[in-house]
Amino acid sequence: MMFDSIKDQIRDVKKIVFVTGAGISQESGIPTFRGKDGLWRNYDAMKLATINAFYDNPKLVWEWYNERRKNIFSAHPNEGHKAIADLEKYVDVVILTQNIDGLHQKAGSTQVLELHGSIVKIKCTVCDFKDEIMTDFSDSPPLCKCGNILRPDVVWFGESLPQDVWQEAIIHANQCDLMVIAGTSLVVSPANTLPIYAKQNNALLIEVNPEDTEMSLEMDLAIRNTSANTLPKLISLFREN
What are the φ/ψ torsions at residue 87 (nearest 5 degrees)? -65, -20
- Has 116 been annotated as catalytic? yes
147 in the same domain as 81: no
What is the spatial distance between Cα 38 and Cα 191, in angstroms, rounded to a whole number?
20
Q: Is residue 72 pLDDT above 90, yes or no?
A: yes
Catalytic, out of 76, 81, 104, 116:
116
Residues paired with residue 130 on neighbouring β-strands, in sequence order:
123
Query: How high is the pLDDT of residue 240?
Result: 67
pLDDT per position as a tens digit, 105-118: 999 999 999 999 99
d(CA 221, CA 6): 8
Look at the chain and report how many structural domains it folds into. Answer: 2
- Let me know whether 18 and 85 are in one domain: yes
What residues are designated binding site for NAD(+)?
Answer: 98-101, 183-185, 209-211, 227
Of 48-57, 81-90, 134-143, 193-202, least confident by mean pLDDT is 134-143
204 has a pLDDT exceeding 80: yes
Reported confidence tier of residue 38, pLDDT bands at 50, 70, 90:
low
Q: Give the three-state DSSP class for 158.
A: coil
The pLDDT value recorded for residue 134 is: 65
Query: DSSP readout, 78-121?
Result: -HHHHHHHHGGGTSEEEEEE---S-HHHHHT-S-EEETTEEEEE
Average pLDDT in the chain: 91
Binding residues: 65, 68, 98-101, 124, 127, 144, 146, 183-185, 209-211, 227
Name the more confident of 186 and 11.
Answer: 186
SS (H, E, C) 40-66: ECCEEHHHHCEHHHHHHCHHHHHHHHH
Supply the range of the domain harboring residue 240: 1-29+77-116+160-241
Looking at the structure, do residues 236 and 185 belong to the same domain, yes or no? Answer: yes
User: Which residue ranges are tagged as binding site for Zn(2+)?
Assistant: 124, 127, 144, 146
Average pLDDT (14-40) is 85
| pLDDT in the model for residue 214 | 87
